[in-house]
Amino acid sequence: MLQLGIEINDSFEGMAAPASGHIVGYAAIVKSLGLRVPSPQIISLITHASSRSEIGSWLLFPKAYHPTEIAGETFEVALYKQLVFAIKYEGINLLVFSQLAKWLNKEQVEKLVAIEPTGQYSRKIWFILEWITGEKTETAPDLSKRSYVKLVDETLQYSVEGEKSPRHMIINNLPGNRNFCPMVRRTELLIAYENEQLEEKKRDYLSGVTKEIIQRTSAFLLLKDSKASFTIEGESPKSTRAARWGKAIGQAGMHELTKEELNRLQQIVIEDSRFVDMGFRKQGGFIGEHERSTGEPIPNHISAKWEDLDELTDGLIAANNLMLNDNINAVIAAASIAFGFVFIHPFEDGNGRIHRYLIHHILAKKGFANNNIIFPVSSSILDHIDNYRKVLESYSQPLLDFIEWEETHDHNVSVLNDTKDYYRYFDATRQAEFLFYCVKDTVENVIPNEVQYLKRYDTFKAFLENTFEMPDNKVSLLVRFLEQNKGSLSKIKREKTFSIFTNDEVKQIEGTYKNIFERE
């Protein structure tokens, strides 16, 4: 009999374990069967402890929880026990199920779902395998006396309201579809973010700000966010190009998400398309470097195969529509769709900025971003760029070991194996946690700081107008000079532009500036 439980001492798959014991659940299934997927983000470990606990990525359980394998039992029974444990305590891992469905033959599937044919976990396993493969089992149990159960445990993972499957007596509340369905675990951190009611906090704050300040804040933030999105990509666009993209961001939520809309957005992002094949890719793609002497690709991320883009993009758009019409949290929906898009990387160029646009789009569509003010999440992402890269790499790096590719004649990559499941069934928990952090930062810091700046600017401007009758263009120039030199007017700038001021007037201006702009 194939052993599905794995005994460890101090480490597993290169990770230090918090205790010795037996690996169970999805990680045990992946390791024992050699499924071609990265280790799950959470790993269950049966230990000598007397109670359940969670340490980082580890779920620790007492021996009483062990899905014990009994001598003489079939492989299917042992697998069933591990799957029941995994679904019950770890949630639904569609990527593992997708690879398991390829590993099992039809006879094994029939035996697996016949072990406890009317039980809720057996029905969940049965539903998932049929849902993923699109193939029905030959036999179906009589479930006429059974009640519907929700597929996704809402205490473990985020889900939608769902629709009933009478064949399985299951409510399919997966937050997506067969072609695209990331899952997000309901972690303590995400629950804490939700409980902060950030949307209400933003609305309450802006209710105390004048309409005129809100309008000006929105204009400033629009351009700031647009420039931030380019800076994240390592670009410094001309003001007209940044303003053009800022205008598109300002329209987030106004257009329905379609393939045509994605193409339109790329055309706005890529001003000079002479060096870019526009539209959905017709070749492989990767992010990374080239070896200097040979030009060989050194990927950090490998994009979805271009042959899979239609299926994946259709799935992403359908999942977007499903979540927009559901009460699922706006930030969770935005993380699933926006990060899913950038992982798929459907275009040759422009993916990163469109990915961040999709965050704006979904937050606006779900009513999170309103009050006639842009929600400048790219500015917060730029402020936390190292964490942003880590979140992207947490998805991309583990997959590199499972994607087979060869170099093309033009030093691109051509993927050789079937990879689409990696892009449609990923765990988006880390991405959701990062995005929620940026949303919180935007609500508590980015927007208030911009509002505060404009209020202080107006106070300083009033001082200059009342004291020197200074016109607006000179006020703007003077403020910029003072900002650049930490509140002091440099000798060069003074002699070149503001030589009219006396020494006493300069001291008065600098002192007033510091009193207004540098106070807590």
Amino acid residing at 485: N
Residues of the chain above pLDDT 70, percent: 98
CB atoms under 10 Å from CB of 233, counted, come to 14
Q: Which residue reads 């035996």 in tokens?
A: 111
Task: Strands of 109-248 (E only): list them.
Answer: 149-150, 163-165, 170-172
- What is residue 376's predicted lDDT score, i.e. its pLDDT? 86
* Number of helices (H), then strands (E), in the chain: 21, 14
Residue 282, pLDDT > 50, answer yes
Q: What is the mean pLDDT of the chain?
A: 93
Whether the predicted model's global pTM rises above the 0.85 cut: yes
CA-to-CA dists, residue 157 to 181, 187, 309, angstroms: 12, 8, 27
User: According to the CATH classification, is domain 188-440 in 1.10.3290.10?
Assistant: yes
pLDDT digit string, tens, across residues 111-170: 999 999 999 999 999 999 999 999 999 989 989 889 999 999 999 999 999 999 999 999
pLDDT digit string, tens, across residues 483-494: 999 999 999 999
Mean pLDDT of 312-338: 98
pLDDT digit string, tens, across residues 410-444: 999 999 999 999 999 999 999 999 999 999 999 99
Q: How confident is the model at residue 244 (pLDDT cuts 50, 70, 90)?
A: confident
Residues 6+ apart with CB under 8 A from 285: 302, 303, 306, 345, 348, 412, 413
Comparing 352-356, 370-374, 468-472, which segment has the lowest mean pLDDT? 370-374
- What is residue 1's predicted lDDT score, i.e. its pLDDT? 45
Q: How confident is the model at residue 520 (pLDDT cuts 50, 70, 90)?
A: low
Domain boundaries, the chain: 6-138, 188-440, 451-517
pLDDT digit string, tens, across residues 63-90: 999 997 777 789 999 999 999 999 999 9
Contact by Cβ (8 Å): 331, 193: yes
Single out the residue of 152, 151, 181 nearest to residue 169, CA to CA: 151
Residue 2, pLDDT > 70, answer no
